[in-house]
Structure 1
């Protein structure tokens, strides 16, 4: 797998944009500041979802196409927090058959959830290294009138 692609806006800022390597009609989703919280989320996941929507909106990163990624982030982050609470309560090691030490199974769940969280965080520029590679969308608010005049929903 190769290196991740840089956003076109970042290439423009760096002065490395080459027209021959860009799409003529590159997808540029509209910025939004609110998304309905999915009904299927649990209460703690709904809180995480809203937390990330608010955070990304403030930074000009929340677009009309980010709902699935933010939902995945909220779910995995909630799983991570829940699993770490259980690890803290039970300890890292427990006793298995014949008193053999056994690594807490919640630790594996927490580690897998954290890996997923970090992958999504990189996509949104939420790590120090990722912030140098991700350009925020221009901070332009979209209104219902704008969406309707652009043919949205027709």
Structure 2
């Protein structure tokens, strides 16, 4: 496939571009809340517990996305473990055969894990660049009736006027 990867509908809705989305209504809709897999280690499970509620609140996580989030969390754990090994053992060691300095294999593990993490973070809209393309609607507009929300959106009602009308 040539060109950019298509974004999911949830990302279009958060960006405010859902109406222009050419595949509107044709994208599969998944539901459910994924559970943290048992095979993840403690560091990965902590990352799951940190990130999953945020993604759920943004509407970017369903049962079908559980594997992708688990893969991100596993890569995160691998990165943390590699960084800890680098702190403990250093970035260079001396080869037992030749005695020459050799780069630690944990540098490659850390770099590969960071690459995987960045790819998953971008998919979920969790990097500064991918997040900057998203415009989140104010949550208080969901509580208003559609007419008031429309009038407020076009600037016909100032927020202070709305508060006066409620009193």
TM-score by length of 2: 0.67
Q: Which has the higher contact order (CA 8 A, sep 6+)?
A: 1
Q: Which structure would you say has the larger Rg?
A: 2
Residues 86 and 107 from structure 1, CA distance in 2 versus in 1: closer, same or farther, beyond 3 angstroms?
same
Cα distance, 1:43 vs structure 2: 2.4
Deviation per CA, 1:5-41, whole angstroms, max 9, x where unpaired? 23446278248716xx325432232364xx3221222
Deviation per CA, 1:81-132, whole angstroms, max 9, x where unpaired? 0000101111111111322110010110111011001000000001111124
2:20 corresponds to which of 17, 20, 31 = 17
| Alignment length (residue pairs) | 134
Q: Which structure: greater helix fraction?
A: 2
Q: Equivalences for 1:5-154 in 2 at 5 Å?
A: 5-8=6-9, 10=12, 13-14=16-17, 17=20, 21-22=22-23, 24-30=25-31, 32=33, 35-96=34-95, 97-133=97-133
- Moved runs in structure 1, 4+ residues, more than 3 A? 6-9, 132-136
TM-score by length of 1: 0.72
CA contact (8 A) 1:31 1:60 kept: no
Structure 1 stretches lacking a partner, 5+ long:
140-154
Residues 88 and 41 from structure 1, CA distance in 2 versus in 1: closer, same or farther, beyond 3 angstroms?
same
Counterpart in the other structure of 1:151: none
Residues 47 and 8 from structure 1, CA distance in 2 versus in 1: closer, same or farther, beyond 3 angstroms?
closer
Q: Distance between the aligned counterparts of 1:36 and 1:16, measured in 2?
A: 32
Structure 2 stretches lacking a partner, 5+ long:
140-167
